[in-house]
Each structure stands twice: as C-alpha cells, then as structure tokens.
Amino acid sequence: MQRYNSPKMRKHLLAGLVVGFFTFLIALLLSLGSEVLIKTVNNRIMALGLLLIIILLGIFFDIIGTAVTAAQIAPFNAKAAKKVSGAPQAVRLTQNAGQVANFCNDVVGDISGTLSGAVGAGIVASLASTFPALDLVLAGAVMTSLIAALTVGGKAIGKNLAVEHANQIIFQVAKVMAYIEALTGRQLFASKR
C-alpha cells in the first residue's frame, strides 16, 4: 500500500494543484471575456454564435485528448528518424499522452462546459427581458438540454473519429505544434526520458 506522504504522492498532488490553479485562471479570463463580449454586443445571434464556438472548441479538444491516448508512437519515431516536420512533436505528444489528455479533455473540456452554461444562461436572461411572458424555468431547461445534447453528441462522434484516425489527428496537431514552436522558440511538451 502506497503511503500518502511519499514523494510520488506529493508530486501527483502538486501537479493536480497546479492544473487546478491554471484552470481557474483560464476559466476566469475566458468567462470574463465572454461576459464582456455578450454585454457589449447585446446581440442574441452573436451570443448563439459564441455559444456554438465554445461547444465546438470543447469537442475539438476532446478529439485531440482521445486521439493522443489511442495513437501509436512507432510511426512517429520512424518519421522523426527521417526528420519529417512535426514528427518529434508527435512523439512528445504520445509520450505525454496522460498530460495532453488531461489538458484537452479535462481542463479545456470543463472550461468549455462551464462557459457554455454561462453563455446559455445569459441568452435565456436576455430572452426573458425581451419576452416577459417567457417561462424562465422552462427556457433554462431547454437551453441546458440543447447545450448538453450538442456537447455530448458532438463528443460521441468525435471520440469515434479520434480512435479510428488517432495517428493522423495527432500528426496534424504536431505539425501545428512544430509551427508554433518555430515561431516562439519554445518547446510545448518536454520530452520524457
């Protein structure tokens, strides 16, 4: 039985706290940004568009998080040996599959879920102010159900695609990573030794 005060347990606890802290900051910034955008624009069509973008981002990152756990490293090692652009990044992604999946599925997924709920509530409140006869409870329930259906349905489709085309998806993500790393001069995921 592993002791709770072991160095490995402390490392996991610290990693969880760091992820939680950065999730809080990212969620706060995105939430404030979306609230300001909705209040500034005050256009329901724009708010619905923002809601759809948030849901699609959650689905997109869920696909990446699922694909990285299903990807095979051997083809990426072969491409890296041939100096193919993006291959070293694909190797790092698959070597760090747990961290990548945690970020994509949990951090981004939870933030997009929270933000989509907040934006949906804002849309319902806006509709209620325009249409006083609107049943707020029913409208809120319909909006929540719509958001849940789009999110869960989209992620179900995305997970199937991610498992079937894991290596192709991760290689495309790795190419984008290679481009970003070339621009910034910083490595996004450190190689595991």
Residue 134 has pLDDT above 90, yes or no: no
Given a cut of 60, whether residue 141 has pLDDT beyond it is yes
Q: Which two tokens stand for residue 76?
A: 């990426």
Q: pTM (2 decimals)?
A: 0.80
Spatial distance between the Cα atoms of 21 and 12, rounded to a whole number of angstroms: 14
pLDDT tens sequence across 59-93: 999 999 999 999 999 999 999 999 999 999 999 99
How is residue 98 written in tokens?
């747990």
pLDDT at 50: 87
Identify the pLDDT of residue 135.
86
pLDDT tens digit sequence for 10-35 = 777 777 777 778 778 877 777 777 66
Q: With CA atoms as reference, report the closest residue to 109 among 154, 69, 139, 144.
A: 154
How far is C-alpha 103 from the chain's CA centre?
7
Q: What is the pLDDT of residues 108-122, one digit of tens each?
A: 888 888 888 888 888
Tell me which residue has tokens 């490595």: 187
